[in-house]
Amino acid sequence: MLDNDERGKKIVVVSHCILNQNCVVQPMARAKGAFKIASRFIEEGIGIIQLPCPELRHFGLERKPMSKFDYDTPIHREMCRHMLRPVIKEIEEYIAHDYEVFGIIGVEDSPNCDINENRGIFMQELFKLLIDKNIKLRSFEVPLDYDELK
């Protein structure tokens, strides 16, 4: 068992589907299970906070593909904020105990989890909550052309 002083004390926050492509709407999955990039975090001793999947929670596994515009409703945004509040508390707790939460990884072109140019609804709400708490995290995303099934 590791002594507390031996912990890596590094954390990354990831979109749900990075660790579980089974939640992705058909036929959009790009890996059989988790993206292989997740194994790199494990090998490097980096802890992982898996965000909940707003699309799965809101519409289930049999949902049809929807656009960002389709998800941009007051009900969906409130559901996202409700799902994210415990995550924000968790991030705050790690930061308060000198852990390095070094970034958030989203998924390019996702209507909810895109981070960069066309920020998804879920990520918009996440970043608003982070700003409210004065938490600044770097952001990265899995590119659209990343596909382990090809």
What's the rounded Cα separation, in Å, for the pair 120 and 72?
A: 9
Locate 109 and state its tokens.
């072109």
Give the neighbor-by-neighbor strand order of the sheet with 139-142: 47-50, 10-14, 100-107, 139-142
Our measurement of the distance from residue 95's CA atom to the centroid of its chain's CA atoms, rounded to an integer in Å, reads 18
Residues 85-137: tens digit of each pLDDT:
999 999 999 999 999 999 999 999 999 999 998 999 999 999 999 999 999 99
Backbone angles phi, psi at 112, to 5 degrees: -115, -35
Residues 54-78: tens digit of each pLDDT:
999 999 999 999 999 999 999 999 9
| pLDDT at 80 (0 to 100) | 98
Instruction: List Cβ neighbours of 76 (8 Å cut-off, separation of 6 or more).
Output: 54, 58, 121
The pTM of this model reads: 0.91
